Amino acid sequence: MLATMGARVIELSGSRDTRGRFYGGASPEIWIFAQRRDDV
């Protein structure tokens, strides 16, 4: 979905406190860090 909007995913995290760690379905939250591409 982000790719269709011209963005790329930089990092997935399970919470703000565990940045860079994603625990799948056990994660309390999903944080997606994305960056807009310049070529779109």
Span 24-34, pLDDT tens digits: 777 778 888 89
Tokens of 16: 């703000």
- Express each pLDDT in 1-40 by its tens digit: 888 888 999 988 887 777 777 777 777 788 888 998 776 5
Tell me which H or E stretch contains 29: none
Q: Using an 8 Å Cβ cutoff, are 7 and 37 in contact?
A: yes
Q: Using an 8 Å Cβ cutoff, are 10 and 34 in contact?
A: yes
Tokens of 38: 């310049």
pTM: 0.59
Q: Using an 8 Å Cβ cutoff, are 6 and 30 in contact?
A: no
Q: Using an 8 Å Cβ cutoff, are 32 and 9 in contact?
A: yes
